[in-house]
Amino acid sequence: MPQIELLNQETIDKIAAGEVIERPSSVVKELVENSIDAGANAVTVEIKEGGISFIRITDNGCGIEQKQIPLAFLRHSTSKIHSVEDLLTVKSLGFRGEALSSIAAVAQVELITKTPEEFSGTRYVIEGSKEMVVEEVGAPEGTTFLVRNLFFNTPARRKFLKSAQTEGGYIQDLMQRMILSHPDISFKFILNGQVRLQSSGNSKIKDIIYNIYGRDITGALLELCAENEFFSVNGYIGKPQIARGNRNFETYFINGRYIKSSLIAKAVEEAYKSFLMQHQYPFAVLYFSISSELLDINVHPTKMELRFSNQQQIYEELVEMIRLRLSQKELIPQVPVAEEKKKPVIPKIEHTIPEPFEKKRIENIKKEIQKDSPYMPRYEYREEQKEPVIEETVTYEQTSFLDKKSAARHKIIGQVFDTYWLVEFDEKLYIIDQHAAHEKVLYERLMRQLENKEHTSQRISPPVILTLSLLEEENLKKFLPHFEKIGYEIEHFGGNEYMISAVPGNMFGLGEKELFVSMLDSLENISENDMILEKVASMSCKAAVKGRNHLSYAEAERLIDELLTLENPYNCPHGRPTIISMTRYELEKKFKRIV
């Protein structure tokens, strides 16, 4: 039987460190929060190699007395709380007393600090929880931490870190949140010798948003300021026009602390539901003030997750607040209207298909259709009992509709709902979804260009200027060769801005900036091998003519003709059917011509 033994202190410290210090950004978070709790109004963070090899954090706070320095590096030593009752009213950012102990357990740490009362400062070195040096030095008031070689004594954990640029991106995101959460503190973030972020500490949130996110986002903000019996909230939400493809632009603070709350995120997204397309997420920087009696912040070691005692009321109130703000007239964008050329009016076809059929959507058969199937779905209908019941079953038939030789016998009848084209051929009615068909045509066209190493570019004037975060910048650099292959011309424009001077020829005039930003958002967590197929499919989807967009008969004919040339024209790149069919027999049975 295995013997039960007590772990030694070194092993205990390393295990405990794993709960708090996951990566370099964890170190920066804990130490910057300590600086804020120390009353600093100026904090500088400098990192090299993504913070893996070097982190330096300097503040002008109150410092640490020399005699208390060794105590500060012991587990559960803290100046923030003194009893369990204090947990209910704690207002500081850090309070567990685990940060310095955890960092010192897995890194080489050097501390230089001085209090206003002391004549000289103290230099303290600790490596892997082992005290190395304690000496007096000249130093300004405040504290400087140097953290080198993170996880030097736990190589198994170090190898799970991502690239230096990715880890640096996490720290930049963290510093953005720190700047937003404490607008009264002057922050500076230096990455590999370059200043990437800097704030004045003038307490103006909109100035900070401008410095972090750029002009376009700042120009499309709605101020939110509301209060009820449960909480108060202020900050900014974005108009729908600046929605993004992921949640990275949703930032929430409670009582000055950055938090992750699925409750708040769901409430905000629910409020935007009727304003945004599916898989789009709003921009939000919101500051909540909630009584500490209604919160449990002691849920997670990183203190970024919390629980509410009155979740349902908070959810409902927040949804209503944001909906009300979004519904105001200020939301309507001012867009210059160009004089539009008159288009020929195509007579609409009156349809007398029963109402239940109108409610059927092509998506109902999505799961039944195999993407690479050489067959086409066909609908059959039957009636049962006293009430007419429409049941939809999908069968498949080998068809010659898309054979090139059959094109001459296609008879385009017209269009319904400005989306579906009706074509008569060989005793059958074919219904073509113009958006799905165009997606497939663009997808195949782009894939041929990639395979043949040829593309067309269209220059745009003025160029599009993008303000990117460090992680977005990393994704852009990683996938830039793929963007260039299909016709993009992109170059660095200084700082964190990039300029798009040319786009793929078939995407010219299709909201170049919004399209590119949406693509860039969707690149997160996608490997390079996946990129070409998946992102080309995404691009073809966004560039394709949409449902309810007008197409002339000639344009529809050209679209169908190009569809004929494809090896698999039956499904769009995402698996939805491009064409369905109905036989004359089925129609006549429906109209009771056949019993």
Per-domain residue ranges for the chain? 9-198, 205-328, 370-595
Average pLDDT of the chain, as a whole number: 77
DSSP helix, strand, coil percent of the chain (3-state; round to 5): 35, 25, 40
Here the contacts of 415-422 (C-beta below 8 Å, separation 24 or greater) are 415/346, 415/348, 415/349, 415/551, 415/556, 416/348, 416/349, 416/351, 417/547, 417/548, 418/547, 418/548, 418/549, 418/550, 419/547, 419/548, 421/551, 421/556, 421/560, 422/349
pLDDT digits (tens, 9 = 90+) for 466-495: 888 777 888 888 888 878 877 888 999 888
Longest CA–CA span in the chain (Å) reads 105
The backbone region for 8, taken as left when phi is positive above 0, alpha when psi lies in -120 to 50, beta otherwise, is: beta
Residues 396-410: pLDDT tens digits?
Answer: 444 467 666 777 778
Q: What is the pLDDT of residue 350?
A: 41
Using CA atoms, how far apart are residues 27 and 75, in angstroms rounded to an integer? 16
The contacts of residue 477 (CB under 8 Å, 6+ apart) are: none
What's the rounded Cα separation, in Å, for the pair 45 and 26? 13
Residue 370 confidence (pLDDT): 40
Q: Both tokens of residue 99?
A: 């940060």
Beta strands in 151-220 (DSSP E): 186-191, 194-198
Q: Which residue type, as a one-letter code, is found at position 216?
A: D
Using left for φ > 0, alpha for ψ between -120 and 50, and beta otherwise, residue 564 falls in alpha
Higher pLDDT, 61 or 578: 61
Q: Percentage of the chain surpassing pLDDT 70?
A: 70
Indicate if the pLDDT at residue 345 is higher than 50. no
CB-CB contact of 236 with 210 (8 Å): no
The beta-carbon contacts of 420-426 under 8 Å, at least 24 apart in sequence, are 421/551, 421/556, 421/560, 422/349, 423/560, 425/401, 426/400, 426/401
Picking from 524, 529, 538, 532, the residue whose alpha carbon sits closest to that of residue 475 is: 524
User: For 75, phi and psi rounded to 5 degrees?
Assistant: -65, 140
Assigned CATH topology for domain 370-595? formyl-coa transferase, domain 3 (3.30.1540)
Tokens (6 digits) for 152: 């030097």
Q: What pLDDT score was predicted for residue 574?
A: 66
Reply yes or no on whether the pLDDT at 77 is more than 60. Answer: no
The predicted model scores a pTM of 0.63
SS3 270: helix
Q: Is 4 exposed, middle or buried (0-12, 13-18, 19+ CB in 10 A)?
A: exposed
Q: Say how far apart CA 125 and CA 130 lie, in whole Å.
A: 9
pLDDT value for 579: 84
| Range ranked top by mean pLDDT from 49-63, 72-86, 349-363, 414-428 | 49-63
Read off the pLDDT of each residue in 261-268 and give the average, rounded to a whole number. Answer: 91
pLDDT band for 506, please (50, 70, 90 cuts): low
pLDDT confidence of residue 225 = 93
> For the segment 125-147, what is each residue's pLDDT rounded down to a tens digit?
999 889 999 999 999 999 999 99
User: Right CATH number for 205-328 from 3.40.50.261, 3.30.230.10, 3.40.1790.10, 3.60.20.40?
Assistant: 3.30.230.10
Cα dihedral 171→175→181→187 (10° resolution)? 150
- Superfamily per CATH, domain 9-198: Histidine kinase-like ATPase, C-terminal domain (3.30.565.10)
Sequence-distant (≥ 6) Cβ neighbours of residue 40 within 8 angstroms: 59, 60, 61, 142, 185
Q: Looking at the predicted structure, is the pLDDT value of residue 339 above 60?
A: no
**β-sheet bridge partners, residue 286:** 235, 252
Ramachandran assignment for 546, one of left (phi > 0), alpha (psi -120 to 50 degrees), beta (any other): beta
Token digits of residue 281: 């997420």
Query: Which of 532, 487, 99, 104 lies closest to 302, judged by CA?
Result: 99
pLDDT recorded at residue 495: 80
Q: Which two tokens stand for residue 205?
A: 């949130």
Say how many C-beta atoms besides its own lie within 10 A of residue 195's C-beta. Answer: 12
Whole-number Å distance between alpha carbons of 33 and 42: 12
Please list the alpha-helical segments (H only) found in 272-310: none
Q: By percentage, how much of the chain surpasses pLDDT 90?
A: 30
